[in-house]
Amino acid sequence: MRGSWIHYLRGYVTVKLIGGDAERFLNEATAAGLLLWDIAYTGKGPLTFRVTVPDFFRLRPLLKRCGSRTRIAERRGLPFQMARLSRRKTFAAGMLGFVCALFVLSSLVWDVQVEGNRSISEETVLKAAREEGLYPFQWSFRLKDSSELARRLAGRLPDAAWVGVDKTGTKVSITIVESAKPEEKKPEGPRDLVASADAVVTKIVAENGRPKVKANQRVRKGDVLISGFIGEGERRKAVVSKGEVRGIVWYEYKVVSPLKRQVQTLTGETRDRTYLVIGNRALQITGYGAPPFGKSVIHGELKRLSLGNWTLPFGKLVEKEKELGLIEEKLTPAEAKEAGLKRAREAVLARSGSGSEIKAEKLLHEHTDNGKVVLNVLFEVEQSIATERPIIQTPN
């Protein structure tokens, strides 16, 4: 019980006993049922002890009998704290108002986030949540239990296999796991696979249909690679030919690469802006008046206030804007040549489709003209060369 919160609520004082018989005083105080603690007495100095405020006023008869008097060295506890606050009413009212405002604002939902959705739009999820009473600026105590809310949201979202709701402070996260649906396949008609370009076949794998060419065979654009006709005579029929055919295709490119180019870089000029963030809204408080940069990049850092495990809807956003400028960079002929070849490689791979691979490249011609390096390059690319061609059947 000694030094407990009960004593803090009642208030207690630290007392020095001056004069009289200290030993007799302690014996009579014990006999009277007074609770004294933290008693210190060396024999040379005064006796000191702590006593609650109600028991302090019961000491007067004992002090008279012992010929002693007291001096209060320290006052502690809620009654003295309240007495001090009563002398500063404006401060006390402000503190009380701040605590009330903090409690009210932390009891609201300030942000609702949707995670994991791909085909289900965020607007659809937020609309279903609103219909269940979950939306920004809603009172937290009015929300249903998280598991019940998740179950009801799942009933409103038929394309979701599972819905989870997690509330952390003033933020609510809705996690969506969507149902796996088989891909809808369009009906396919009989077809041949034909060459999309002149090439030399390097690989042919026929999943359906009859292969008409072999590896290392040269084909021209439009030649049948895998036929959609199978069988002979009366058993001959048209099918959907499927398979993979790869071949070597040649591309010739003319590349013009300048010996000077403009490069975007940071100039070193920066500007800082500070925003006061309340919920999902921000109010700019610094960084006004400066003329805008022509080009710039902006990096922002958001810091929200927290109270224990609670994240409050207040914070500060600091934006740092950095100016971008253009500088002229001179290249050697070798550097310009390599930059031009790099662009040509990227272009030929984009043109030849996914899975393509440059097997060889040959520089046919190179010269410098009017501050530019001009190149003629022949690329040898292995790529898919099969394209679909429908089989048009005429009635007998």
pLDDT of residue 86: 66
Segment 182-202, tens digit of pLDDT: 766 677 789 999 999 999 999
Q: Taking all residues of the chain, what is their mean pLDDT, rounded to a whole number? A: 85
- Residue 24: inside a domain: yes
- Residue 356: inside a domain: yes
Percentage, residues of the chain above pLDDT 90: 25
Summarize the confidence of residues 157-184 as an average pLDDT: 84
Segment 80-89, tens digit of pLDDT: 777 776 666 6
pLDDT of residue 43: 61
The CA angle 130-133-138, to the nearest 5 degrees, is 100
Percentage, residues of the chain above pLDDT 70: 93
The verdict on 32 and 76 lying in the same domain is yes
At 1, is the pLDDT very low, low, confident or very high (cuts 50, 70, 90)? very low
- Residue 389: inside a domain: no
Between the alpha carbon of residue 241 and those of residues 21, 136, 252, the distances in Å are 116, 56, 32
- Residue 317: inside a domain: yes
The CA angle 252-257-260, to the nearest 5 degrees, is 180
pLDDT of residue 357: 94
- Residue 134: inside a domain: yes
Please name which of 162, 170, 169, 166 lies closest in space to residue 137, comparing C-alpha atoms.
170
**Structure-block tokens of residue 355:** 């899975």
On the question of pLDDT at 346 being above 90, the answer is yes
Residue written as tokens 């108002």?
A: 97
pLDDT of residue 137: 83
The verdict on 174 and 139 lying in the same domain is yes
Segment 290-320, tens digit of pLDDT: 778 888 888 888 888 777 667 777 788 898 9
- Residue 184: inside a domain: no
207 vs 2: which has the higher pLDDT = 207
pLDDT of residue 394: 57
Segment 16-45, tens digit of pLDDT: 888 887 888 888 888 888 888 888 876 666
On the question of pLDDT at 283 being above 50, the answer is yes
Q: What are phi and psi of 121, to 5 degrees?
A: -70, 150
- Residue 103: inside a domain: no
323, containing H or E segment: strand 310-330
Q: What is the DSSP string of 34-95?
A: --EEEEE--SSS-EEEEEEHHHHTT-HHHHHHHT-EEEEEEEESHHHHHHHHHT-HHHHHHH
On the question of pLDDT at 396 being above 50, the answer is no
- Residue 129: inside a domain: yes
The verdict on 121 and 147 lying in the same domain is yes
Please name which of 72, 79, 42, 78 lies closest in space to residue 56, comparing C-alpha atoms.
72
The verdict on 33 and 17 lying in the same domain is yes
pLDDT of residue 359: 94
CA–CA distance, 201 with 198 (Å, rounded to integer): 10
Q: What are phi and psi of 235, to 5 degrees?
A: -90, 0
Residue written as tokens 């019980």?
A: 1
Domain of 122, CATH number, reads 3.10.20.310
- For residue 134, the enclosing domain spans 108-178
pTM above 0.75, yes or no: no
pLDDT of residue 171: 85
The verdict on 52 and 118 lying in the same domain is no
User: What is the number of structural domains in the chain?
Assistant: 5
The verdict on 215 and 173 lying in the same domain is no
User: How many distinct helices (H) and strands (E) make up the chain?
Assistant: 9, 24
Segment 222-273, tens digit of pLDDT: 999 999 888 888 888 888 999 999 999 999 999 899 998 888 888 888 988 8
pLDDT of residue 168: 82
CA–CA distance, 368 with 339 (Å, rounded to integer): 14
The verdict on 11 and 32 lying in the same domain is yes
Pairing, β 191-195 against β 199-208: unpaired
Segment 88-141, tens digit of pLDDT: 667 667 777 877 877 777 788 888 889 888 888 889 999 999 998 888 888 888
Helices assigned H by DSSP within the chain: 5-10, 22-31, 53-56, 60-66, 78-86, 89-106, 122-131, 146-156, 333-352
Summarize the confidence of residues 368-396 as an average pLDDT: 87
